[in-house]
Amino acid sequence: MTEMVRIGNASGFYGDRFGAVQEMLTGGELDYLTGDYLAELTMLILGRDRMKDPSLGYAKTFLRQMRENLALAVDRGVQVVVNAGGLNPHGLAVALRELAAELKVDARIAFVSGDDLSSRAAELGLGSPLTANAYLGGFGIKNALLHGADVVVTGRITDASLTVGPAAAAFGWTERDLDPIAGAVIAGHVIECGAQATGGNYSFFTEIPMGHLGFPIAELHRDGSSVITKHEGTGGAVTLGTVTSQLLYEVRGPRYYNPDATARLDSVQLTQEGPDRVAISRATGEAPPTDLKVSLNNLAGIRNEVAVVLTGLDIEAKAELFKQQFTDALPARPAELEWTLVRHDRPDAPTEEQASAILHCVARDTDPQKVGRPFANTAVELALASFPGFTLTAPPGNGSPYGIFEPGYVDAELVEHRVTQPDGLTLLIPPSPLRAKPIIDDDDPAADTTVDFGPVTQLPLGTIAGARSGDKGGSANVGVWVRTDEQYQWLDSFLSTDKIAELLPEAADLTIHRYRLPNLRAINFVIEDILGRGVAENVRFDPQAKGLGEWLRSRHVPIPERFID
């Protein structure tokens, strides 16, 4: 019986390195190759594609990758599993069959569907969104693989399900194998974002041989334990740090909910087994939640922006003058008008750019006339009649549509999780019989310790702490970790929600949740509503909060001198 399978990943998002599929297929042994092409913003992009052409709605990049690599995958016996089907997995499956016939490759194609709830959204209490897609589990993929599929394409499944499905097929897991499934969920979460597990977006990147990073592989065992690695000779590294960072990416509390099992992030143990080999063990699984999360995207209106450069003296006075003149001159007032002054300037600057600030004005409205060319032209017309040194960062434009994301939830019994096997037979995949009302993790307060850590020195928090941050709809998470037990004891007592609000003033008036993950020597913070209504709507400087953790690491705090090398 199979005791270990090698599952590699070749895509972390729609737009990731095109050549990674071929690199993974030729770089060493694999049993399965996965690819994650979907994100909240991607679903909106695909939704707009489908509005223009109903035959689209899938990630076209994957079809081009298969033109170059389908024969290679079949020859090597590597089964390919991707969520590139997006809003139209059937359409992508048809295109793949046509491609296989053109290439004269005997490839068996299956697809998983049923996640698209847009036609039923109103009856399910989800409103009338542009897209409505439930996050499905991995057992439809399992069925397709067991029926001989060479390629399985899906719609909106959970990212970790790309790994759960192959593992469940290889090891014959049932819905009752909660601990092994949880282990696959954890391994899938580590490899789902590609090179982020091998050194990409890593706080201590100067310690990693950067360059052309290799993509990650999970060597999964029957009991759900795994080893995260990469093909020999590829760039980057797999270390306790890179794996810890990825485990903290876009998570909430200790419970990581998935349709097939709830994985306990606070149960896992990490061990550096050797160079570029990190073992993950002791994953604990609990019953999956009763409801499935649903990704909802709506077209909200039209957005336009003007940005003017303010140089030299009297920056704030120049900004106020332009705001008043521009607002008074607008032919029609948009529903939303948002101003942001970004101060790049410094006194006695050695370059003009360093002497300048940028004033942004963002307008939103459902009426394109209020935010279109007349809006932008209003700024241009003030060019010779406003503050000294007036200039725009870009010519006027017509504005563009924007969307908003929000999560919904629906009972898994109401979602028809379907798999269409290579022979064309379609089966319904029932939800887990173990489903239960989810246990909501309580916030963890900072530890109350009387330990004296000795003299301190004001230094950036990142001197000793790593971080990884990302978007969760309108919220953001920031996971912070350190390398020793003593450092974690200090971090747990020092880094409270009040301290986060102090170090990140943008979060000062927002709700902040705190979760302790001692096995990872980590604390995860979730900051509600810092991203407004999601990446497609907000115009925050960092709309997906990818740099939020690095901002936190740059803030100066009193670090015990005993921790400083």
> Residue 536: pLDDT band by 50, 70, 90 thresholds?
low
Token pair of 371, please? Answer: 């935010």
DSSP 112-146: EE--B-GGGTTTTT--S-SEEEE-B-SHHHHHHHH
CA proximity to 55, closest of 95, 83, 15, 14: 95
Residue 208 has pLDDT above 90, yes or no: yes
Instruction: Output phi, psi for 514, to 5 deg.
Output: -130, 130
Q: Can you tell me the mean pLDDT for 514-522?
A: 98
Question: What's the confidence (pLDDT) of residue 565?
Answer: 75
Separation CA 162–CA 191 (nearest Å):
10
Q: Tell me the backbone φ, ψ of residue 63, rounded to 5 degrees.
A: -65, -40
CB under 8 A, 24+ apart: contacts of 115-122: 115/154, 115/155, 115/156, 115/157, 115/415, 115/417, 116/87, 116/155, 116/156, 117/294, 117/410, 117/415, 121/296
Give the pLDDT band of residue 497 (cuts 50, 70, 90): very high
Mean pLDDT value of segment 82-100:
97
* 41 pLDDT more than 90: no
Q: Which residues pair with 488 in a beta bridge?
A: none
Residue 559 confidence (pLDDT): 98
Q: What is the pLDDT of residue 345?
A: 95
CA distance 555 to 490: 17
317 or 540, greater pLDDT: 317
CA dist 290 → 30, 260, 262, 363, 516 (Å): 34, 10, 11, 40, 25
- What share of the chain in percent tops pLDDT 70? 99
Describe the chain by its helix, strand, coil percentages, rounded to 5: 30, 30, 40
Other CB atoms within a 10 A radius of the CB of residue 123 amount to 9
- pLDDT band for position 561 (50/70/90)? very high
- Cross-strand bridge partners of residue 364: 303, 336
Parts of the chain belonging to CATH 3.30.70.380: 302-403
Inform me whether the pLDDT recorded for 390 exceeds 70: yes
Average pLDDT rounded to a whole number, residues 406-417: 96
At what angle are helices 373-380 and 315-329 packed, to 10 degrees? 130
Predicted pLDDT at 540: 77
In single-letter form, the type of residue at position 68 comes to E
| pLDDT attached to residue 396 | 82
More confident residue, 115 or 396: 115
| Residue pair 21/33 in contact by the 8 Å Cβ criterion | yes
The topology under which CATH files domain 302-403 is Alpha-Beta Plaits (3.30.70)
Report the SS3 class of residue 378: helix
Has residue 281 got a pLDDT over 80?
A: yes
Q: What is the pLDDT of residues 218-227, one digit of tens each?
A: 999 999 999 9
Whether residue 553 has pLDDT greater than 90: yes
Q: What percent of the chain has pLDDT over 90?
A: 89
Residue 306: beta bridge partners?
361
The amino acid present at 250, given as its one-letter code, is: E
pTM (two decimals): 0.94
- Tens digit of each residue's pLDDT (9 = 90 or more) over 356-388: 999 999 999 999 999 999 999 999 999 999 999
The stretch 348-357 carries a mean pLDDT of 96
One-letter identity of residue 193 = C
- Each residue's pLDDT tens digit, 135-150: 999 999 999 999 999 9
| pLDDT at res. 533 | 74
Q: How confident is the model at residue 404 (pLDDT cuts 50, 70, 90)?
A: confident
Query: Quick one: angle between helices 60-76 and 89-103, nearest 10?
Result: 50
Q: How many whole angstroms from its chain centre is CA 380? A: 38
pLDDT of 395: 86
Strand ranges (DSSP E) for 432-527? 456-460, 466-472, 475-481, 512-517, 522-527
Once rounded to an integer, what is the mean pLDDT over residues 303-310?
95
Q: Which helix (H) or strand (E) holds 433?
A: none
- 139-146 and 161-171 helices, crossing angle to 10°: 50
Mean pLDDT of all residues in 438-463: 95
